A and B are shown apart, each in its own frame.
Chain A
Amino acid sequence: MPEIFSEGFFPNINLQDETNWATDFVRDVIIPRLPEAVAGHFPVELGTVLVMVAFAGIFVAVVPLLPLVLVLAERKVAARFQNRTGPMRVGPWGTLQTLADGIKLIFKEDYIPPQGDKLLFLLAPYIIFACSFAVFAAIPFGDGIPIPGDFNIGIFYIMAISSVIVMGVIMAGWSSNSKWSLLGSLRSAAQIVSYEIPLGLSILTVVMLVESLGMQQIVASQDGGIFTWLIFRTPFTFIAFFIFFISSIAEVNRTPFDLPEAESEIVAGFHTEYSGMRFALFFIAEYANMFAVSAIGVTLFLGGWQGVLPGYDFLGGFPGFVIKTLGLVFLMMWLRWTLPRLRVDQLMNLCWKYFIPISFFNILGTGVWGLIFRHDDVWSIGISCAIIYVGLISAYAVAGRSLARKPEPQPS
């Protein structure tokens, strides 16, 4: 069977892999049920692709429900932070509020700026929408849940696809023919392009340890309970996780890095001129993105769908994966409703002067660590956890003092 596909009609799909679930599905389920005359000639690769498309269809139908929940969650979380109740009218405890908003947005006027570039204006939301959902194709949701895009280059694919989003942002900003939109989109371009570097470099530390780009392989390498999660594997991945997390907040344009849509500065940034369903697409994409980057973070650093304890299913499987991901999502919401916004130059400083050098240091460190220890050695993990522990304690001792409430400067 492999030799049929080695040349491959679809070279990007990992058909060489014997365990490709879609091919298995075609061979085990579809072909036996076909008439014998057809079965021998059934194009397995075409069938594989069709099965994948069908599964992706289910995905595309289900995943948009996610932002529906997340938007409501954000509003409720924000309300809690701000001594409010949040939406309470539509449905029990306002649970159907997002649906009502969505319906309202569908019926709103679809305004297209007459002076703008109509084609780009119409295209931009779809590009962003499509890209943010394409990321979901490669996320391993759980044990036994097939990944539509189960590539051996999964994380690379995700990075590539999510970079295209910035194109949609620039298109939206440019085609709106609004100066605020233009400013927003240029900010966005600068920001996303910059933060992709520390993001990619932190991912690289994980890839170095696992020696694979495949998402399933990365998850499979963290199967020994919480201390084999890649965040604790070396002290460098521990740092890399935080760089990854902060950079991913910047990637999805959320506070404190929400400059592209900074309401108080540039109105609504690149989607100022959008209304109705097109605006809703941006909105949905933003929340889908948020979930996606959190899911990637969980996959890379927090064990994916692997449980906390080896052998037990506690916080494992699909529910465990979703809980961990929602934990990161909640952290993002928490930050958003607490922190002010950085300025453009401070944003760039943070990226280029701190994150990128630290990321390079991480890569170097991970490489050296890999030379010294076998990567899943118990000793290696023990030493790593000890270093992290000592590092945290000393960081608290040094920084905690200055972070504690500063003596109130009393103007006389």
Chain B
Amino acid sequence: METTQQTESKIIELKPFTDEMVVNMGPQHPSTHGVLRLELILDGEVVREAIPHIGYLHRCFEKHSENLSYPQIIPFTDRMDYVAAMNQNWGFCLAVEKLMAADEKKDFAVPERAEYLRVLICELNRIASHLLSFGTYGMDTGAVTPFFYAFRDRERLLLLFEKICGARLTYNYIRIGGVSEIIHMEPGSLDEQNFLDEVKDFLDYFEPKIDEYNDLLTSNSIFSERTMGVAVMSAEMALSYGATGPNLRGSGVDWDLRRDEPYSIYDRFDFEVPVAKDIPELGAVVGDCWSRYKVRMDEMKESVRIVRQILAEGLPDGPVMADLKAVRPPKGEIYFRSEAPRGELGFYIVSDGTPKPVRLKGRSPCFSALSALQELSRGLMVADIIAIIGSIDIVMGEVDR
């Protein structure tokens, strides 16, 4: 009896004690696209939970705006989505213009020339933004070279922007009632011709490059392995999280404000809206990281198409700024949304008839997309988290505002 007890007591039970590890990814991390902080709960390499913490780039932009006149707010919008600042300028200006249009006493319309310049420059800006997204996504998945290619081309775009508005990143170009007149290109002048020629040169150079990038990264088998079928966001999920833009179209929802709720002069242009679909022979599933990425690659082509149409028509004559004495919208409120590169950028403005807004709220597409991260990343691996963040293409300046 005693011996049995002794032998039994000698049995060592193997109970490996494993615990989940909590890791802070960010705010200083090479690939959280700015100052996003993720609280990762890891079981080895597997992510049990990825909780995003935001606010590291919060600059009280909305509250600040309440103390500024409307034109003064435009530079703040530059600093929201700083890689697509033209589109942010535009989104805000469109909202204010619509609010002002409600005032029947003022006869006010954005000049034709300004509309064309706006579309031209915003589509180029969309290309620049998607290029950055493409480059950093390559970097996120471990390929460094696409980043340099993307920045080489983006550099040419930035030089164009510099030419037209004097700034490379925070443009403050699109103003309420038109576009900035600071660097004024006279209609039909040599300046204008040079600028348009340069745009055309860029498009001629850039369009074949998209195919080159598709060869380099999109159809790379390691890249496909890493991104296809990973973090599938279904159409319902995308809609319920409020994902918009390429993220929504990547989930197979055919929705683009430029086509479905045309603002400005988008109804005059002929362009397609790329929507992801299942590609069984490659392994791509609608809503996975690859689809979201691919939609962006295809959108660049469509942007090129729009800009080509503008170049073919030529910029119309006339002023670039409406004859506005002061920006003083009537009492009322407005919500206006436009299609920025990252999705639906909405501005909600409450005005009491003074030159300053009572309340201003920006509806950030990145914020909504980021909220889906927690559900998308559950049960995946650490490397997939990076792939998801890159594929939903967030800019923290816009998430935090």
Contact = CB atoms under 8 A, between A and B. Distances in A.
Contacts of B381: 343-345
B363 interface: no
Interface string B259-284: 00000000000001011110100101
Given A83-B149, A343-B383, A406 B282 contact: yes
A258 interface: yes
Q: Identify which of B30, B138, B211 gathers the most chain A CB atoms within 10 Å of its CB.
A: B30
A342 interface: yes
A258 B282 CA distance: 25
B318 interface: no
Contacts of A409: 277, 279, 282, 284, 294
B53 interface: no
B331 interface: no
A412 interface: yes
A340 B141 contact: yes
Interface string B214-256: 1111011011011000000000000000000000000000000
A340 B219 CA distance: 11
Interface string B305-340: 000000000000000000000000000000000000
Contact of B141 (A186, A341, A411, A412): A341
A343 B143 CA distance: 13
B31 A265 contact: yes
A341 B383 contact: yes
Given A345-B381, A405-B215, A340 B277 contact: no
Contact of A340 (B45, B148, B226, B295): B226
Q: Identify which of B138, B145, B274 gathers the most chain A CB atoms within 10 Å of its CB.
A: B145
Contact of B383 (A84, A255, A265, A338): A265
B157 to A, nearest CB: 16
Interface string A391-408: 000000000000001101
A85 interface: no
A339 B282 contact: no
A262 interface: yes
B23 interface: yes
Nearest to B298: A411
A338 B282 contact: no
A265 B222 contact: no
A337 interface: yes
A339 B222 contact: yes
Given A263-B30, A264-B31, A344-B381, A408 B214 contact: yes
B142 A346 contact: no
Interface in A52-85: 78, 81-84
A228 to B, nearest CB: 35
A320 B41 CA distance: 52
A291 to B, nearest CB: 22
A183 B42 CA distance: 10
Given A342-B225, A411-B295, A266 B382 contact: yes
Contacts of A406: 219, 282
Nearest to A341: B142
23 contacts: A82-B145, A82-B149, A255-B143, A256-B222, A259-B383, A339-B142, A339-B220, A339-B222, A340-B138, A340-B141, A340-B222, A340-B223, A340-B226, A341-B142, A341-B383, A342-B222, A343-B384, A344-B45, A409-B277, A409-B284, A411-B275, A411-B277, A411-B298
The 10 nearest A-B residue pairs measured at CB: A341-B142, A82-B148, A264-B31, A340-B141, A340-B143, A340-B142, A411-B274, A343-B383, A409-B279, A179-B23
Interface of A: 78, 81-84, 179-180, 183, 186-187, 255-256, 258-259, 262-267, 337-346, 405-406, 408-412
Given A267-B29, A346-B226, A411-B295, 5 more contacts: A340-B138, A341-B142, A341-B222, A343-B225, A409-B282
Interface of B: 21, 23, 29-31, 42, 44-45, 138-145, 148-149, 152, 211, 214-217, 219-220, 222-223, 225-226, 272, 274-277, 279, 282, 284, 294-295, 298, 381-384, 386
